[in-house]
Amino acid sequence: MKKLSLGSLVIILLSLLLASCGKKEEESQGYDAAFSDVRDRRIQEYNLDVQKDQASQRSANDTLALKEHILHNYPAGSYLVYFDRSNTFSVPRPAVIYYKADQAYVFAIVAKSKPGERLIETKNITGYESSFINLDSTKLGTAFFFLTLFSYDEGGFQQVWEKEIPMHGGFNRMILKTWGPQRILYVEVNFEDGIIVGHRNYNIFMNNGIRQMPHLLETYEGISRKRTIADVNKDNYPDYYEYTFYSLSNRIYPVDSVAFYWDKKRDLYVNSRNPRQTRPY
């Protein structure tokens, strides 16, 4: 084996040193972007410009226009969320539903970063793995989810209302549905929940019309817990049944259920057997 000359050795050492410095600088820039509103905005603007250039067809109020509206009109660290991937190779779709009624509307899931913490990344708040984010010690930031209704016309987007969803990770999808004999419009927002080994649905009902602040009802299903939508007192507010499970060494099965109905005066869900037990949603 040939011996390395002194000059070659110096060149190798300098190359390793420069590579190490470059890596540290990249890590520092990535770290700074997570805590810098200015850097994050620049990255969002750049990515949006790339998406605009790559779009084969555009309309005045398409999803890219909505993303731009959120970027310029919402607090730093606010993002339009995407549906979870249905498989490894699928392209994630933005969490929006366009809807025509008395005028043009769009329902959108917007996630906002908790002030004072690092800015969230949308990839860290969608899918099954992210449903454990409350237990994560890596400090990925705290996301606050909102179902937001926008109206739109030639002048752009206007926020009609936003309803907070009490979940911080695990977003999967949303579906527009109707409920009951009155066919009340509502949006089912689905989250994976690894902690209960199941899922949670945050059902947002427009029982007083699409432009009024909606009503929130949570349902869920896991390995040993379940809550389903019901119509207990026959009004225009949805109610629910909460199930009790019994666990054996080889199986888990439901043994009882209790109805909760919406009390308009108290603005709470009330246990039909024990009025002192209430739920906010």
Tokens 């207990």: give the residue: 232
Does residue 157 contact residue 104 with C-beta atoms inside 8 Å? Answer: no
Tokens 């390995």: give the residue: 223
Q: What pLDDT shows up at residue 25?
A: 42
Let me know if residue 3 belongs to a domain: no
Let me know if residue 33 belongs to a domain: yes
Range of the domain at 31: 26-54+62-169
Q: 139 Cβ partners below 8 Å, 6+ apart?
A: 117, 118
CA 194-196-198 angle, 5° bins:
70
Say what the pTM is: 0.85
Whole-number Å distance between alpha carbons of 260 and 278: 8
Distances in Å between the Cα of 199 and the Cα atoms of 107, 202, 237 are 21, 10, 23
Structure tokens at 193: 């929940």
Whole-number Å distance between alpha carbons of 141 and 119: 6
Distances in Å between the Cα of 34 and the Cα atoms of 28, 50, 68 are 10, 21, 20
Distances in Å between the Cα of 210 and the Cα atoms of 45, 100, 133, 174, 185 are 32, 11, 32, 17, 8
| Torsion 265-267-273-275 (CA) sign | negative
Let me know if residue 220 belongs to a domain: no
Let me know if residue 11 belongs to a domain: no
Let me know if residue 176 belongs to a domain: no
Whole-number Å distance between alpha carbons of 278 and 15: 66
Does residue 119 contact residue 76 with C-beta atoms inside 8 Å? Answer: yes
Structure tokens at 251: 């199986």
Let me know if residue 272 belongs to a domain: no
The one-digit pLDDT tens for each residue of the chain (281 residues) are 445 565 555 566 656 665 555 544 444 444 566 788 999 999 999 999 999 999 988 998 999 999 999 999 999 999 999 999 877 777 889 999 999 988 999 999 999 999 989 999 999 999 998 998 877 656 789 999 999 999 999 999 999 999 999 999 999 999 999 998 889 999 999 999 999 999 999 999 999 999 999 999 999 999 999 999 999 999 999 999 999 999 888 888 889 999 999 999 999 999 999 999 999 99
Let me know if residue 91 belongs to a domain: yes
For 186, the enclosing helix (H) or strand (E) is: strand 184-193
For 179, the enclosing helix (H) or strand (E) is: strand 171-179
Let me know if residue 67 belongs to a domain: yes
Does residue 187 contact residue 201 with C-beta atoms inside 8 Å? Answer: no
Q: 162 Cβ partners below 8 Å, 6+ apart?
A: 110, 146, 147, 148, 149
Does residue 232 contact residue 211 with C-beta atoms inside 8 Å? Answer: no
Q: How many CA atoms lie within 13 A of 180 on its CB side?
A: 19
Q: How many domains does the chain have?
A: 1
Structure tokens at 228: 């389903």
